[in-house]
Amino acid sequence: MNNYLNFKGKNCVVTGAATGVGRAVATKFMELGANVYAMDINKVSDVTKYIKVDLCRKDQIDNAITQLPDKIDVLISNAALAGTTFMDYVFTVPEVFSVNYIACRYLVESLIPRMPRGSSIAVVSSTTGENWKDKMDLLGDLYENGDTFEKAVVWAENHIYDERVFNGTERPDCLYTFSKEALIYFVKRASFDILKKGVRINVLCPGGIDTPMVDEIARIVGTHEYDKAATNPIMDRAATPEEIADCLLFLSSSLSFSLNGCDITADFGFTPGVMFQRCTPNGEFI
Ligand SMILES: NC(=O)c1ccc[n+]([C@@H]2O[C@H](COP(=O)([O-])OP(=O)(O)OC[C@H]3O[C@@H](n4cnc5c(N)ncnc54)[C@H](O)[C@@H]3O)[C@@H](O)[C@H]2O)c1
């Protein structure tokens, strides 16, 4: 039988591979025979090569790119920050946007020339980005006027405190939702032209996942309510990083050959449950 998940000898780049989903997908790629190039600000063990990089810094990304192989088969753009702190690091609000969105787009566009036909890219967004269609004008403006790393930084500096960017949230250190909406828009808008080069790109939108990020969100919100709201009453738990990593393996394999420019929701059906009023956004049965 065909081994559809054979990544033997494939060069896979994973950002944010030190913890959570990135760690899980890097481990699975290694088990499946891939060479894994892990880009992260925190150390990553047990991969082919760890490349230390702060993804809010263009010079560091450029340096990291020089350490990647000439041929790349898979790119998983996964790194993100929920707020302005992570482990020992503190970031500014514009830097958070750089990690979550600008670095992803820059890396995708920089690495495509190294990706042979049949390669694939999976970007990790979130169910929090699901209302991206409400902001087509703003996201289109970012896409068109932020088409280089430097221009996107300027766009962010000029817009980052707009109410629509912050979604009216009371958490001034968190523009997480907007960055996730921007990722979905970017993948969809760029996907047709990327496919012309023979490379597929899709975006995964997980619901709550049991990773260090949940602890960080709970710290920002000030309660552990997020943890409950991040799942649905049928599962009564968040996804494991391994469950979400499996979706990324699928998007990276030929099993998903017909998918391009798709946003796939991985939340145990929580989103339709809320949409059709089967449960509340807080995870209670209706
Ligand atoms: N945990 C959740 O509930 C949840 C829900 C939906 C979507 N997501 C998304 O899943 C993806 C993975 O998140 P996770 O839950 O595994 O989080 P995590 O916090 O465990 O992992 C984030 C990774 O990004 C790295 N990172 C952070 N800042 C960096 C920087 N400046 N430069 C380089 N690397 C940096 C961290 O070191 C870490 O390895 C993210 O895109 C996140 O937004 C998470």
Residue-wise pLDDT for 37-83, tens only, equals 999 999 999 999 999 999 999 999 999 999 999 999 999 999 999 98
86-108 pLDDT tens trace: 888 999 888 999 999 999 999 99
Residue 2 carries which DSSP code?
-
Separation of alpha carbons 51 and 79, rounded Å: 13
233 pocket-lining for ligand 1 (C-beta < 6 Å): no
Residues forming a β-bridge with 222: none
Ligand 1 centroid–CA 124 distance in Å is: 9
Backbone angles phi, psi at 202, to 5 degrees: -135, 165
265 pocket-lining for ligand 1 (C-beta < 6 Å): no
14-46 pLDDT tens trace: 999 999 999 999 999 999 999 999 999 999 999
Tokens of 15: 């950002």
pLDDT at 224: 59
Give per-residue burial for 223-249: e unless 16+ CB within 10 Å, then b. Answer: eeebbbbbbbbeeeebbebebbbbbbb
- Over residues 240-251, mean pLDDT: 98
pLDDT at 222: 67
pLDDT at 170: 65
Sequence-distant (≥ 6) Cβ neighbours of residue 222 within 8 angstroms? none
Task: Look at 166 and 278; give whichever has higher pLDDT.
Answer: 278
Residues forming a β-bridge with 90: 85
Ligand 1 centroid–CA 254 distance in Å is: 26
pLDDT at 86: 87
Place of tokens 């989903």: 21
Residues forming a β-bridge with 202: 122
247-274 pLDDT tens trace: 999 999 999 999 999 999 999 999 999 9
- Over residues 200-220, mean pLDDT: 89
Nearest-10 crossing angle of helices 20-31, 241-252: 60
**Which secondary-structure segment (H or E) carries 218?**
helix 212-221
For the CA of 128, the nearest atom of ligand 1: 6
Separation of alpha carbons 97 and 142, rounded Å: 12
pLDDT at 103: 98
* 208 closest CA partner among 125, 100, 127: 127
Is the distance from CB of 207 to CB of 270 less than 8 angstroms? yes
Checking DSSP bridges between strand 89-90 and strand 85-86, what pairing results, if any?
antiparallel
206 pocket-lining for ligand 1 (C-beta < 6 Å): yes
Mean pLDDT, the chain, whole residue set: 93
Tokens of 213: 């990020």
pLDDT at residue 85 tops 80: yes
As a whole number of Å, the CA-based R_g of the chain is 18
**3-state class (DSSP) for residue 197:** coil
Q: Which of 14, 21, 220, when mutated, tests ligand 1's pocket best, judged by the most ligand atoms within 8 Å of its CB? A: 21
Q: How far apart are the first and last CA of the chain?
A: 45
Task: Look at 163 and 1; give whichever has higher pLDDT.
Answer: 163
Ligand 1 centroid–CA 2 distance in Å is: 33
Ligand 1 centroid–CA 16 distance in Å is: 6
Is the distance from CB of 209 to CB of 20 less than 8 angstroms? yes
* 207 closest CA partner among 60, 21, 62: 21
Domains of the chain (ranges; CATH) run 11-275 (3.40.50.720)
* 194 closest CA partner among 99, 77, 81, 110: 110
Q: How many residues does the chain have?
A: 286
111-166 pLDDT tens trace: 999 999 999 999 999 999 999 999 999 999 999 999 999 999 999 999 988 888 88
126 pocket-lining for ligand 1 (C-beta < 6 Å): yes
For the CA of 230, the nearest atom of ligand 1: 3
3-state SS of 36-54 is EEEEECCCCCCCCEEEECC
Separation of alpha carbons 38 and 142, rounded Å: 28
Is the distance from CB of 77 to CB of 68 less than 8 angstroms? no
122 pocket-lining for ligand 1 (C-beta < 6 Å): no
pLDDT at 232: 81
Ligand 1 centroid–CA 78 distance in Å is: 6
Closest residue by Cα to atom 43, ligand 1, is 80
